[in-house]
Amino acid sequence: MKRNYERSHELYARAVKLMPGGVNSPVRAFKSVGGEPLYFKSARGSRFTDEDGNEFVDFCQSWGPLILGHSDERVVEAVRRAAFDGLSYGACHAGEIELAELVLQAMPEFERVRFVSSGTEAVMTALRLARGVTGRSHILKFEGGYHGHSDGLLVKSGSGLATLSIASSAGVPDEIARTTLIAPFDDEDAVSEIFQKHGGDIAAIIIEPLPANNGLLEQRLEYLNFLREISRRYGSLLIFDEVISGFRFRFGAYGSGLGVMPDLVTLGKIIGGGLPVGAIVGPAACLDRLAPVGSVYQAGTLSGNPLSLAAGSATLKILRDEPPYDYLEKLGAMFDRAVADELPQHAVSIKRVGSLIWFYPGEKPAPRSTAQIEDAAVRRFNSIYWKLLDAGFYLPPSAYEVLFLSSAHTEGEICGLVRAAAVALREEDGV
Ligand SMILES: Cc1ncc(COP(=O)(O)O)c(C=O)c1O
């Protein structure tokens, strides 16, 4: 049944007069699924409620930080206590040490961490560090990979492989765009060719070890090992951007779980428990090149903010002491089974790794590289999106984004989503 979104509509009409597109981050504008944003007023566990009083099972969970679901009481209590002691000191406090110890306990392969306020900042700093350490200017990223919105990462490939990168956003100078080389995912030859041409200039390769920002393009383990090997051979650093994957599948980094050791890891999302945070993790020899010890500058008024770090510490302690990972895997496996039972006659290829799910209604198996993503699958996702909302299921409003499961979700909610998708696809496909 069609839901009433009247109040959201009114708020949006006010918002567009105040903020560009009415939003503070573009994907929230619902442009890809064709519609207007909903406005939310409260959230708990797996669910949130919009301003019209509609309740939704939330499969976006703030794009990943909320692995324990919305407003977990233990996290909220930690934030409340921290808030009463001071919202921000702009000075050192014990909460920084607590979260640093937790992060490094989970990632014993490293020795240092620097906290910043977002994933974008973490990646930006990691790249500056790589350039500072190697004395080189270029970085290599992968087509379609998102690593935040800093200038050098808003770049796509132009017509010649890796030689003609162009900005994917207005306002990014060509001089900066040209320092970012781009390779397709899943392609050893392309990376080898780039290194043969530019190896001496490449400060770092940056990749999500499980690319989860443009579909879920799981890479072959041999490919990640190949990146490790070639970066080492040419004296470049390998940076794993684990802003999404860090602490999502295990108490620690996804890459180390696979046995691939990068030089630097960037974190965000989960380690802030729902409040703004980012981090760069690495060996002392590298991280100690940051100011004030070294000459690579980075700073932040709210870096290490006591509220964010309290939320992060509370979250990581729960992930360590009461790991939800088996439960999340169980939920995910239930999703797979429900899809096999309910959607056999529809072309849907669910790509799932643990608690990340790419709902990919394509004709072919879920791809491993950006170029293989089918336009038809994107259109099909968009066409069922509002039907799922009307049925009470909120998915990230873009076919390219993954669904995030949290430990607050239930088996009933998972099966409910798949049933609603079956109804929506049946209507769409006329089956
Ligand atoms: C892999 C990855 N890196 C970096 C970022 C940027 O993080 P933030 O949005 O906190 O700036 C994101 C955001 O989704 C991300 O998924």
Instruction: List the structure tokens of 309.
Output: 């770090």
Please say whether the beta carbons of 201 and 247 come within 8 A.
no
118 with 43, same domain: the answer is no
CA of 370 to the centre of ligand 1 (A): 18
Same domain, 57 and 122: no
Judge if 304 and 260 occupy the same domain.
yes
> Atom of ligand 1 at shortest distance to CA of 121?
11
Are residues 198 and 83 both part of a single domain?
Answer: yes
CB of 245 within 6 A of ligand 1: the answer is no
CA nearest ligand 1 atom 8, residue: 119
What distance in Å separates the CA atoms of residue 369 and residue 360, rounded to the nearest whole number? 14
* Backbone phi, psi, residue 238, to 5°: -110, 120
Q: Do residues 249 and 294 both lie within one domain? A: yes
The range of the structural domain enclosing residue 161 comes to: 73-321
Mutation probe of ligand 1 site: the residue of 24, 115, 123 with most atoms within 8 A of C-beta: 123
375 and 284 within one domain: no
- 210, amino acid identity: L
Q: Is any ligand 1 atom within 6 A of the Cβ of residue 120? A: yes
Ligand 1 centroid – CA 356 distance (Å) = 15
Residue 62 contacts residue 274 (beta carbons within 8 Å): yes
* Residues contacting residue 175 through CB under 8 Å, at least 6 positions apart: none
Of the residues 293, 321, 349, the one at which a domain ends: 321
Query: What is the Cα 186 distance to its own chain's centre?
Result: 19
Residue 400's nearest CA partner among 346, 354, 344, 361 is 361
Q: How far apart (Å, rounded) are the C-alpha atoms in residues 263 and 148?
A: 19
Alpha-carbon gap, residue 55 to 49, rounded angstroms: 4
Q: Look at ligand 1, atom 3, and give the residue with the nearest C-alpha.
A: 147
Give the dihedral sign, CA 123/126/132/137. negative
Does residue 268 have its Cβ closer than 6 Å to ligand 1? yes
- Total structural domains within the chain: 2
Ligand 1 pocket test: which of 242, 244, 270 has the largest number of ligand atoms within 8 Å of its C-beta?
Answer: 244
DSSP state of 21: G
Which residues are part of the catalytic machinery?
A: 146, 241, 269
pLDDT by position in tens, the chain (length 431): 789 999 999 999 999 999 999 999 999 999 989 999 999 999 999 999 999 999 999 999 999 999 999 999 999 999 999 999 999 999 999 999 999 999 999 999 999 999 999 999 999 999 999 999 999 999 999 999 999 999 999 998 765 544 568 899 999 999 999 999 999 999 999 999 999 999 999 999 999 999 998 899 999 999 999 999 999 999 999 999 999 999 999 999 999 999 999 999 999 999 999 999 999 999 999 999 999 999 999 999 999 999 999 999 999 999 999 999 999 999 999 999 999 999 877 777 889 999 999 988 888 888 888 888 888 888 889 999 999 999 999 999 999 999 999 999 999 999 999 999 999 998 887 76
Task: Of 196, 64, 247, 212, give the one whose Cα is nearest residue 142.
Answer: 212
R_g of the chain computed on alpha carbons: 21
Minimal-distance CA residue to ligand 1 atom 9? 119
Whether 199 and 317 map to the same domain: the answer is: yes
Same domain, 230 and 289: yes
Q: H or E segment at 181? A: strand 180-183
Query: Relative to the CA of 208, which ligand 1 atom is closest?
Result: 1
Do 279 and 415 lie in one domain? The reply is: no
Measured at the alpha carbon of residue 194, what is the angle toward residues 161 and 162, in degrees to the nearest 5?
A: 30
Based on the fold, state whether residues 24 and 82 are members of the same structural domain: no
Ligand 1 binding pocket includes 147 (Cβ within 6 Å): yes
DSSP 136: -
Predicted TM-score (pTM) of this structure = 0.97
Nearest to 42 by CA among 30, 53, 32: 53
| Class of residue 250 by CB neighbours under 10 A (exposed 0-12, middle 13-18, buried 19+) | middle
